[in-house]
Structure 1
Amino acid sequence: MFAFFRDVRYELRDVAVTVGDDVAFGHGFGRLSGTSGDGTATDGMWVRVTFGPRRDGDGGWLIAHDQVSVPVDVLTGKAVTDLRP
């Protein structure tokens, strides 16, 4: 996905994280935007993000799970891409 962009911005909002000794869980909203390779600027769209980091053997954190979803209009079955948090 990032190869599509000449320059890229990633914004996170309303992030909540619960942390345990060796695993954590987080969720919020993310928006990927920037300028494509042909120079077209895009504001992107907001998506729901969830992630699950775990401690590695050196005490640092690695993301073991990452998921992104787009809201769906249940009546039409189509993605809703113009929502904002």
Structure 2
Amino acid sequence: MKTRNSFQSPAETVDQVIAALRAKDLDAVRQLYTPDVISFDVEPPLQHVGIEAKLANWVKVFTVFAEVTYELRDLTFTVDDEVAFGHGFARLSGTLHDGTATAGMWVRVTYGMRKINGDWLIAHDQVSVPFDVVNGSGVTDLTP
């Protein structure tokens, strides 16, 4: 894990998040988000406000998964001097604590980032699944 002030690009910050999630290292994850991050995650409520709420979501994941695999595809960033936004597709999968392997599902992910003291930190993220308007449910079997 890199130390603060060494995240050279938004994509590198996201790579560090993925490495921290695979290692189940919440302290490393904490370093990669702003303290006031707003997260629109796939589970309720509609928004998770602040780093503690963001980390609480990952604690839930780690209580279910013995081994975490996190994949990211087609990540694209638009970057300015102090802000960046990016989007791609992500899949959380792995091995559950009971030994069951799970393939997970692909979701859409969006990142809003700010450059603070030379670091690209995630200030906003959103994870979503497409919605079938006719039957009122999320569509979770799509692949990028």
TM class by smaller structure: over 0.9
Aligned positions of 1:3-14 closer than 5 A: 3=62, 4-14=64-74
Q: Which amino acid aligns with 1:24?
A: A
Runs of 4 or more, structure 1, over 4 Å off, are: none
RMSD (CA atoms)? 0.9
SS of the residue 1:2 aligns to: helix
Q: Which amino acid aligns with 1:27?
A: H
Aligned positions of 1:1-85 closer than 5 A: 1-3=60-62, 4-57=64-117, 59-85=118-144
TM-score normalised by the chain length of structure 1 = 0.93
Deviation at 1:80, TM superposition (A): 0.8
Deviation at 1:60, TM superposition (A): 1.1
Q: Which runs of 5+ in 2 are unaligned?
A: 1-59
SS of the residue 1:45 aligns to: strand
SS of the residue 2:104 aligns to: coil
Deviation at 1:2, TM superposition (A): 2.9
Taking the aligned partners of 2:61 and 2:82, their CA distance within structure 1 comes to: 29
Deviation at 1:53, TM superposition (A): 1.1
For 1:16-44, what per-residue CA distance to the aligned partner results, in whole angstroms no more than 9, with x for missing partners? 10000001000010000000111111000
Higher helix proportion (structure 1 or 2)? 2
Q: Which runs of 5+ in 1 are unaligned?
A: none
Taking the aligned partners of 1:35 and 1:29, their CA distance within structure 2 comes to: 20
TM-score normalised by the chain length of structure 2 = 0.56
Aligned residues, how many?
A: 84
